[in-house]
Amino acid sequence: MISPAGLVLLTTIVLARAFPQNAASPPALVAGVPVNYDESRVGAYTLPDPLVLASGSRVTDPKMWFRQRRPELLRLFEQHQFGVSPGRPPALRFDVFDKGTPAFGGVAIRKQVTIRFTADADGPRMDLLLYTPSGAKRKAPVLLHLGFTANSLTVDDPGVRAGEIWSRDRRRVPASMGRRFGTLDVRKWIERGFGVATVYYGDIEPDFDGGSQWGIRGALPGSWGAIAAWGWGLSRALDYLETDRDADARRVAIMGVSRLGKTVLWAAARDTRFAAVIASCSGEGGAAISRRDYGETIRHLALRYGYQFTPDYARWGGRVAEFPVDAHLLIALVAPRPLLLQTGDTDHWSDPKGEFLAAVAAGPVYRLLGKADLGTTTPPAPGQPILNTLGYHMHSGGHGVQPGDWDVFLKFLEKHLGPAR
């Protein structure tokens, strides 16, 4: 699991120049835009009804949701927030260079795969690292983790090939020049019957303005943003898992933190093959309600990270009440699949209350589809997770994942996906 020290490094280095989450006196301005942390100043707002079509007709059954409302919402998110992603490229191929090596004292089998997105040998590619339980009688469900650094720095296993990372000066350098941000506790998941896979988001596209020329958007240009590109890469990882004899591709859960929490939400909205989602501290542009003027806003995101979204997204910063979509609709697009939102009670920049309220507002869709929503309109105390099909967990602390959160994630997926048998 990721150590607390590793999480501090991750937040400091990867989210460079981001808001200091637990500052005693947070700045009143970020990127020249005011920041509100006063609930009394949030203001009134009205959310779009997830079960009312653009025509004004009410969605009354699952068939109407899947045939009419869901496609309608997907198009709105594509047009106004994330952009339109391409499908599976015809030249996609998988080069398995580690075909099954015992790892972690023999309890796991390790595989490593280079996923090539185009026919160009020097074109964009992504390394996938996969562990499955040794001696499993059936295919294992898999936690697919989207990480901020190379696989060799994410897992403590000397057998993992050292990849490459993007440096602060925007160069691709050997992973050996990077620093470990902590490690995924693969053994814990393996011993509970799960497989674990991880990919580095920088393999798909580097995380800086102008980085698209070195990523998949350079090969497949369009109006889609970096978040859509990273999510597209997760779908290509699932394409490989569908070919692996030890992984149950029908039970793959995706997990990401912060901007990668936004990514896994959008990836699951687009690709219904993903069986479950764990979105950590996804905040504005993810699971937090945009119409709540609290913490980060669309204006902050568009000014600082505009490359992550479709160009149209920026124009809603000053017109958020007219924004055609909002976070509860993104959550609803994951339904009826299991979704766990993880937050921190002092991560005010990401608005943990706004994430809870968005989940409440998405509840009618889960109920329409026969699944359990949060079951409450009262936010739980830290350390008291709601593990329904639509779930919510808040730890005591700030932005990111704490060691105890991983136990909650495992319990959630055991409940909804079940271990290998």
Catalytic residues: 258, 399
Could you give the angle at which helices 70-77 and 259-270 cross, rounded to 10 degrees? Answer: 140
Closest CA to 324 of 81, 67, 40: 81
Other C-beta atoms closer than 10 Å to the C-beta of 49 total 14
Q: Helices H, strands E: what count in the chain?
A: 13, 13
Check if the beta carbon of residue 227 is closer than 8 Å to that of residue 84: no
Distance (Å) of CA 132 to CA 212, 254, 298, 345, 413: 33, 16, 40, 34, 16
Helix (H, G, I), strand (E, B), or coil: what is residue 327? helix
Angle at 77 between CA 361 and CA 66, to 5 degrees: 65
CA distance 233 to 221: 15
CA distance 33 to 17: 15
CA distance 27 to 24: 10
First-to-last CA distance in the chain? 24
User: Tokens in use for 165?
Assistant: 């990372």
Residues in the chain: 421
Closest CA to 112 of 125, 136, 131: 131
Amino acid symbol at 102: P
